Amino acid sequence: MTASPSLQTAIVTGSSRGIGRAVALELARQGFAVTVNGVRGVEDAAKVAEAIQQSGGRAIAVQADVADPAGAQRLFDRAEREFGGVDAVVNSAGVIGLKPVAELTADDFNRVIRVNVNGTFNMLHLAANRLRDGGSIVNFSTSALATALPGYAAYNASKAAVEAMTRVVSKELGRRGITVNAIAPGPVDTEMFFQDKNQELVDRLIKMTPLGRLGKVEDIAPLVAFLVGPEARWVSGQVLRANGGLG
């Protein structure tokens, strides 16, 4: 299918649930044709794409593991074939895996790095070569970098790498009018947030947040829409910390 040159298109990795799902729905509301992505199975991603279509938008669902270079390439290939090109890439696929270093195995650590760092890199590499001029990239970091709580060594290491890549790639792609930014959410009420956490830790994180609540996916998705929209063309190489004042 050949898309109109005026059609704005976006790939949102990890968008079958959580923040990624909210981002896909929000970008569709803003007029983007969205490539929805999931890794565990296409059913949840297909439901997101169907919801967009039922609301009058355009979307496809693609099962792909972006931590695998071939999977990331397949995601780009499908988006380009369906919509004619890609204007925005949102790297929201991620895992958390909280364990103290004494209990963290090499396999545990490598799994977090594989998804959060390699997956982001694979999409950045493709975007650097295939994103249309004037496009946008939004990566996902975390405000947990500032809190440095026990158990977060692997996760924080992976997200520190994402922030470093964000700043470098923004300079590499700036001459093509491509903006590259990251969002670093605080604790957000998603399935992934509650993994590996007991209620004591959840309550502690809520108390640490000056606004006194968990974030919602609806607090994050509009920020992505802003960063890929026309109002943010002078914003690049930045990390936006959306965390209720956590730090």
Span 131-176, pLDDT tens digits: 999 999 999 999 999 999 999 999 999 999 999 999 999 999 999 9
Domain range holding 205?
Answer: 9-94+116-140+162-242
**Do the Cβ atoms of 9 and 83 come closer than 8 Å?**
yes
Catalytic site includes residue 155: yes
Is 147 a domain residue?
A: no
Q: Which of 186, 181, 187 is nearest to 226 (CA)?
A: 181
Q: Is residue 2 scored above 60 in pLDDT?
A: no
Is 82 a domain residue?
A: yes
* 183-202 average pLDDT score: 84
Q: How many angstroms from the chain centroid is the CA of residue 130? A: 18
Query: For the chain, how many structural domains are there in total?
Result: 1
pLDDT of res. 189: 86
pTM value? 0.93
Is 102 a domain residue?
A: no
Is 106 a domain residue?
A: no
Is 99 a domain residue?
A: no
Confidence of residue 215 (pLDDT cuts 50, 70, 90): confident
Please write the tens of the pLDDT for every residue from 80-111: 999 999 999 999 999 998 999 999 999 999 99
State how far the alpha carbon of 197 is from the alpha carbons of 10, 108, 201, in Å: 32, 16, 6
pLDDT of res. 204: 85
Query: What CATH number has the domain bearing residue 178?
Result: 3.40.50.720
DSSP code at position 230? G
Is 146 a domain residue?
A: no
pLDDT of res. 190: 80
State how far the alpha carbon of 124 is from the alpha carbons of 117, 178, 194, 216, in Å: 10, 12, 28, 27
Kindly report the number of other CB atoms within 10 A of residue 167's CB atom.
15
Q: Which of 32, 140, 155, 193 is catalytic?
A: 155
